[in-house]
Amino acid sequence: MIPFRIGHGFDVHALVTGRDCMIGGVNIPHSHGLDGHSDADVLLHAICDALLGAAGLGDIGKHFPPTDMQFKGIDSRLLLRHVIALLQTKGFFVGNIDATVICEAPRLGKHTAQMCANIAADCQIAIDHVNVKATTTEKLGFTGRSEGIAAEAVCLIYSK
Ligand SMILES: Nc1ccn([C@@H]2O[C@H](COP(=O)(O)O)[C@@H](O)[C@H]2O)c(=O)n1
Ligand SMILES: C[C@@]1(CO)OP(=O)(O)OP(=O)(O)OC[C@H]1O
């Protein structure tokens, strides 16, 4: 069997007032925050889905139902660490992760290094095996109107 598998994840959360703007485990100073059942960390959710997909383990809502009060307001880094534990029980380790956050604002450039450090720590991999990028949609669509933030992630996992 080929020891490498790839995964892809995509997530969107609405921007609202009165919520923190958690992205990649970093609380980004911004006028609006991300709405959701959890802390709504759109980047970590996309990464969780990429990892679960690579391992053939379904998706984030299957493991952490948004109807379950134990996940209300939960720090998504805890969800990511749980996903890593699930992968490890199936004999999988993370190779690398590449992700893109899509929003006009906030500007993310000065925060991506801390996001990578958080993700690398939670995935138990070297920081240079994690890459986080940001892009706008040139003011087009819901991200362009700052109604929400989207994130996409791809990953490679392997078994020894
Ligand atoms: N929220 C964002 C969006 C973009 N950046 C940085 O700006 C570069 C150019 O973005 P375009 O959408 O105009 O291609 C992008 O490569 C990022 O470095 C950002 O920091 N935060
Ligand atoms: C993360 C979970 C946890 O209940 O809640 P939300 O913050 O609503 O996030 P979403 O990306 O919709 O994924 C569903 C849930 O698993």
Closest approach atom of ligand 1 to CA 136: 12
User: What residue type is 68 in one-letter code?
Assistant: D
* pLDDT for the residue 2: 78
In what helix (H) or strand (E) does residue 123 lie, and over which residues does it extend? helix 112-123
Interface pTM, i.e. ipTM: 0.90
**Is residue 44 very low, low, confident or very high in pLDDT (cuts 50, 70, 90)?**
very high
Q: What is the pLDDT of residue 21?
A: 99
Confidence (pLDDT) at 117: 99
- Which of 55, 149, 39 minimizes the C-alpha distance to 99? 149
Separation CA 98–CA 67 (nearest Å): 29
For residue 134, report the distance from its CA to the centre of ligand 1, in Å. 5
CA dist 135 and 29 (Å) reads 18
CA 99 to centroid of ligand 2, rounded, Å: 18
The values of phi and psi at residue 125, to 5°, are: -130, 165
Q: Can you give the pTM of this predicted structure? A: 0.97
What is the 23 CA–ligand 1 centroid distance (Å)? 15
| CA dist., res. 60 & res. 152, Å (int) | 14
pLDDT at 96: 98
* CB 99, CB 132: distance < 8 Å: yes
Query: Mean pLDDT of all residues in the chain?
Result: 98
Q: How confident is the model at residue 111 (pLDDT cuts 50, 70, 90)?
A: very high
Cβ atoms of 134 and 152 closer than 8 Å: no
Residue 77 annotated in ligand binding: no
Q: Kindly list the structural domains of the chain, giving each domain's residue range(s) and its CATH number in brackets, ordered by start.
A: 4-159 (3.30.1330.50)
* Mean pLDDT, residues 17-40: 98
Q: If you average pLDDT over residues 144-152, what whole number do you get?
A: 98
Q: What is the pLDDT of residue 1?
A: 73
For the chain, give the percent of residues with pLDDT over 70.
Answer: 100
CA 137 to ligand 1: nearest atom = 12
Q: How would residue 94 be classed by pLDDT, with cut points 50, 70 and 90?
A: very high
Q: Is 16 marked as binding a ligand?
A: no
